[in-house]
Amino acid sequence: MDMPARPRSVRLAVSLLRTRWLVRAPIWIFRCRLGFVFGGRFLLLEHTGRRTGRPRYVVLEVVDRRPPGELFVVSGLGRRSAWFRNILAEPRVRVQTGVGPPRIAEAHELEPAAARHALARYAAAHPSAWQQFQPVLEAASGARVSDAGSALPVVELCLERPAR
């Protein structure tokens, strides 16, 4: 695919996204029960390693949500993201949104039409963020990304109702 030259800010953002200690720092914020500082736009996803069976963690931006208890996240590195491959192998996960305790959820990849709809809703709700986020996603994934169509997988997290 022929991609145009990337601005320095996009190259820097992609480089930062590939800096392990930096992308893992928000995990500790959630573990300290301070995830609320992200204003509900991010979540901590606990998933099971497909090879090790051990708990793994990643902080992801919520690109769409529907009541009751449906959250949508994008795999910014496409199908090669470790967390994405892990949830395909074991879809039962735990989700912490920053308010309240972690909740059990079932994860599944959306069909392309539903994924486009979720990205379109994100772009409409957060046009400024989308304008900054889109070129970074394209550079990180090596694929064209738009709210009208994307090669990036979108995952729905269906939260279980809390026990009463």
**CATH number of the domain encompassing residue 77:** 2.30.110.10
pTM above 0.95, yes or no: no
pLDDT, tens digit, for every residue of 102-120?
999 999 999 988 888 888 8
Domain that holds residue 91: 8-159
Could you tell me if residue 164 is inside a domain? no
pLDDT, tens digit, for every residue of 65-108?
888 899 999 988 888 889 999 999 999 999 998 877 899 999 99
pLDDT, tens digit, for every residue of 25-62?
888 888 888 889 888 889 999 999 999 999 999 999 89
Pairing state of beta strands 92-96 and 42-48? antiparallel
Could you tell me if residue 2 is inside a domain? no
Instruction: Count the helix, strand and coil residues of the chain and give each as a percent rounded to the nearest 5.
Output: 40, 30, 30
| DSSP letter assigned to residue 38 | G
Could you tell me if residue 47 is inside a domain? yes
Length of the chain measured in residues? 164
The number of folded domains in the chain is 1
